Structure 1
Amino acid sequence: MFQGTGSDVGKTVLVAGFCRLASRKGIKVMPFKPQNMSNNAAVADDGGEIGRGQWLQAFAANEKPSVHMNPVLLKPQSSTGSQIIVQGKLSGFKKGADYQKMKGELLDRVMESFARLKEKADLVLVEGAGSSAEINLRACDIANMGFARSADVPVILIGDIDRGGVIASLVGTATILDRADRAMVCGYLINKFRGDLSLFDDGIKAIRNFTGWPCLGVIPWLEGASLLPPEDSMALEHRSPKKHGKVKIAVPVLPHIANFDDLDPLIHESDVEIVFVRKGECFPANSDVIILPGSKSTIADMIALRERKWDGEIIKHAKKGGMVIGICGGFQILGRKIFDPDSLEGNISETDALGLLDMVTEIGERKLTRNSNAIHLLSGLPLTGYEIHMGKSFGPDCRYAPLKINNVEDGAASPDGKIWGTYLHGLFSADAFRHYFIGSFGAKPDKSGHFEKLDNALDKIADELEKAVDVNALFRLAR
């Protein structure tokens, strides 16, 4: 089990890299994360939701993603509460304190899923969540040491040297863990190292003196990690425009943004510039397209969009003839109104939306979660993706549906086709459609496909890990 001294130390990427490495060695390996908190979800092959990180790790392991790879998924819906997904299915909504009380009940489901993977795999690589040193949450923990102890899984700690204070974070973790938890740790990894490795020799000695733990490797900054889909919105803080492209796409970063990895295939196109617009910023005046990504709380995000004065900017862009695209929650925001009569997403039952499409959305209890095949009707090009949503949209502009999903028309568009939206996530992963889309703005598509880039990135990460870590010794620790 790989646990971190804090959040965002690189656990997801390292587990994916080790999954790829093990798979290349002929080991049947599967990833597992007992509890995840993320609004970047994927649909597993057995039909339910899992964190995007576990989908990536399954891809790296050359295994089909399963709901049992991430049996508990928390999807934050407000500042105090989350949707609870258990073994892929919606279980309800809980505030933080209430969820802490139910975690003991969920451990049985977690252990059941872990047992299923163990039956099928030679090796299971487990990812912890947040920090293993959150002793205030230890009593009912199922994400870190609580799981490790219940499953009797040896633990590797990961420290992030790039953020500074890595020695203190490792020594501090050892200091505050109780004796039984500390005994589960059999070594540590230093991640995101840059520069002369010999300069950290004394650091390794100091950590050994304080903790008794061996260093199992010092891992360099992994350039391929930037090509992997991020697990949560923390990654957006590090994303900024790094190039100029033939087509410029602006994306508002709203409080409940979800499944924004829909944009990754576009981000990684050389001739495309993506600008993430954050609070206090304005949309670039020369944007060709504005894309509204998914949202975990559509009404709350529409209100935030209005408070930030972005509604006027988006409408102005549309009036000038610019294209606006909405995906899932972003599609709902394009309509005239959003209704939530049962207060499923919050305590506001309705709001005016942007009014760029003549349609309304009603949030309902039934949640649609499935992988889907589709056709882009204007070009006739095939698409593959997935749907995760709780609303239905209807109105005159649905007559101009841009897609057919599983042979049923989906989405809506303005009569001139400049404003359109769909419930299909992942549509830009289809290489032919993405090339058609950016080519319509004069951009030149890259030769390599999206999943080919992802594969190559994982192979490069695995190569780096094999150089930096005694992988055979690491895997032997798994007994």
Structure 2
Amino acid sequence: MSTRALMIMGTGSDVGKSMVVAGLCRAFANRGIKVAPFKPQNMSNNAAVTADGGEIGRAQALQARAAGRAPVTAMNPVLLKPEQETGAQVIVRGQRVASMSARDYFATRARFMPDVLAAFNELADTADLIIVEGAGSASEVNLRHNDLANFGFARAANVPVVLCGDIQRGGVIAAIIGTLAVIDPDDADLVVASLINKFQGDPALFETGRQFIAEKTGRVCLGPLPFFADAAKLPAEDVLALDDNLRSGEGDFLIAVPRLARIANFDDLDPLRAEPGVRVELIQPGNPLPRNANLIILPGSKSTRADMEQVRHEGWDIDILAHVRAGGAVLGICGGYQMLGRTIADPDGVEGAPGITAGLGLLDIATILAPQKQLRIEHATETRSGAALSGYHMHMGVSTGADALRPFSHVGGKPEGALSENGHIMGTYLHGLFAADGFRKTFLERLGARADADLNYESSIDAVLDALAAHIETHLDLDQVLALAGPVGGLSA
């Protein structure tokens, strides 16, 4: 078959676009179709390192996995990683090109459209079907000028659109019909169908609503697609999903994680949250770190110095030091590792104004931030146990010092991370390390936790993706969905 494409846009944020795309990718892949995910522009601090040495949004990496292919930068050519309240790091084809204010980015983003279209073309050369995900709401007419994420791309690439609405929010009929009413008529012409997502209850009760939408819009209304509860077991892209689930598990072993303002790559916690003997609690600002925590994890951060200042502002530094004095363990991952050291220096102003911020002083290391981001998929061995683990580096600093001579792990025979003399304070740049079942079990049991010997984390993710595909296959006519896709061609900037 010639390459075809279909775009899933939303009436708002968090209507389930990412999960619908992942489910469609796995369902079509199961039919033997070469499918690829694509998101022109994403905004997320939860990213993944790709096979071609860049970074993309975590959701696109998951969608690539659903499609049965390695993630590549072409799947998410523009990634925005918020650094401040009004600015973000701009990643193009997997590499950082600038840090820009929101105003400057919106004024100049049209220059990235050629990159977006070139990436889309690259994927088209390797796929029979591309499932495209929009961003946020399709009806944000105030952001339509020079748009890359929604109709700006769809118009440039001439991709048909399915408009997805979340019935749990209420007002889904008005959301779909209203979106078509307020957008540009030429944009509306690209919409070929609507989709009702997250339905709960008897679908027959919505039949008149579905017919009303179809009559009023003149387009087929797909679904309703019932709520898929196991989606919560998949890696989340948006930190809001993490905030909606502040506590996971009922185990006796408590892991406390301070909710940093610029928390990044928080899916590092997912394998721990899947352990039945473990309880992971995300501690919100304004709350102390619990005294009965067995382990404190300082997670990744998009802006380490600013989040270090937040740790002090919240008094979490005092809680962490008290925890250590009582013999508790602390693990810092990436930015959290940098916070455990003596100082974090930013001579080039990578994260903001140049300067030096004092760390917690729990590891004898010092960090110097640098403009060049390190992006690598790694295979490592934990120093203490010899357990194999894999992960990825995604950071912009180098940490050196006496405790780095006691490395957390070895990567290609070279030391990585650091340990305190008594081994209670641990730091590593490796994201994704807990997905390795053997290492996770060894790590937890060494700290006194019960680990599930039967938990295969990676297999569990694929099982959920298979269940999601079956769910979509049951409730949507995939032949009808495939027929809605349009041929790839006629791209223009």
2-structure distance, mates of 1:448, 1:397? 33
CA contact (8 A) 2:11 2:164 kept: yes
Q: CA deviation at 1:448?
A: 3.2
Q: Which of 171, 183, 197 lines up with 1:177 in the alignment?
A: 183
Work out whether 1:20 is the aligned partner of 2:21.
no
SS at match of 1:316: helix
1-structure distance, mates of 2:288, 2:209? 44
Matches for 1:228-267 after TM superposition, within 5 Å: 228-267=234-273
The one-letter code of the counterpart of 1:461 is L
**Structure 1 range deviating more: 236-245 or 318-327:** 236-245
Q: Which of 344, 351, 354 lines up with 1:338 in the alignment?
A: 344
Q: CA deviation at 1:442?
A: 3.5
The one-letter code of the counterpart of 2:151 is M
Q: CA deviation at 1:194?
A: 1.1
Q: What does residue 219 of structure 2 align with?
A: 213
SS at match of 2:287: coil
2-structure distance, mates of 1:123, 1:130? 23
CA contact (8 A) 1:36 1:129 kept: yes
Q: What does residue 277 of structure 1 align with?
A: 283
Work out whether 1:61 is the aligned partner of 2:88.
no
CA contact (8 A) 1:269 1:446 kept: no
Work out whether 1:373 is the aligned partner of 2:373.
no
Q: CA deviation at 1:166?
A: 1.4
Q: Which of 476, 485, 493 lines up with 1:469 in the alignment?
A: 476
SS at match of 2:280: strand
Matches for 1:11-410 after TM superposition, within 5 Å: 11-347=17-353, 349-410=355-416
2-structure distance, mates of 1:272, 1:384? 21
**Structure 1 range deviating more: 60-69 or 440-449:** 440-449
The one-letter code of the counterpart of 1:11 is K
2-structure distance, mates of 1:126, 1:446? 38
CA contact (8 A) 1:439 1:445 kept: no
**Structure 1 range deviating more: 49-58 or 216-225:** 216-225
Q: Which of 452, 459, 463 lines up with 1:456 in the alignment?
A: 463
CA contact (8 A) 1:339 1:362 kept: yes
1-structure distance, mates of 2:280, 2:455? 19
CA contact (8 A) 2:211 2:221 kept: no
Deviation by residue 1:354-378 (Cα, 9 ceiling, x = unmatched) = 1111111111112111111111010
2-structure distance, mates of 1:260, 1:217? 32
The one-letter code of the counterpart of 1:304 is Q
SS at match of 1:120: coil
1-structure distance, mates of 2:288, 2:212? 48
CA contact (8 A) 1:37 1:73 kept: yes
CA contact (8 A) 2:343 2:358 kept: yes
1-structure distance, mates of 2:403, 2:141? 53
**Length, aligned pairs only:** 479
Q: CA deviation at 1:394?
A: 1.2
2-structure distance, mates of 1:241, 1:260? 14
**Structure 1 range deviating more: 438-447 or 305-314:** 438-447
The one-letter code of the counterpart of 1:260 is F
Q: CA deviation at 1:169?
A: 1.4
2-structure distance, mates of 1:94, 1:319? 42
SS at match of 2:125: helix
Q: CA deviation at 1:446?
A: 4.6
The one-letter code of the counterpart of 1:478 is A
2-structure distance, mates of 1:442, 1:392? 32
The one-letter code of the counterpart of 2:379 is N
TM-score, normalised relative to structure 1: 0.98
Structure 1 residue runs of 4+, over 4 Å off? none
Q: CA deviation at 1:162?
A: 1.4
2-structure distance, mates of 1:289, 1:22? 42
Q: CA deviation at 1:201?
A: 2.1
* Aligned CA-pair RMSD: 1.1
CA contact (8 A) 1:43 1:49 kept: yes
CA contact (8 A) 2:277 2:449 kept: no
Identity of aligned residues (%): 48
CA contact (8 A) 2:246 2:283 kept: no
2-structure distance, mates of 1:193, 1:438? 38
Deviation by residue 1:225-259 (Cα, 9 ceiling, x = unmatched) = 11111112121221132431131111111110000
Deviation by residue 1:182-217 (Cα, 9 ceiling, x = unmatched) = 011011111111112222223223323432232111
Deviation by residue 1:293-338 (Cα, 9 ceiling, x = unmatched) = 1000000000111111111011111110110000000000111111
2-structure distance, mates of 1:143, 1:337? 39
CA contact (8 A) 2:248 2:281 kept: no
**Structure 1 range deviating more: 393-402 or 251-260:** 393-402
CA contact (8 A) 1:299 1:348 kept: no
SS at match of 2:385: coil
Q: CA deviation at 1:454?
A: 0.2
Q: What does residue 10 of structure 1 align with?
A: 16
Q: CA deviation at 1:98?
A: 0.9
2-structure distance, mates of 1:8, 1:405? 38
Q: What does residue 445 of structure 1 align with?
A: 452
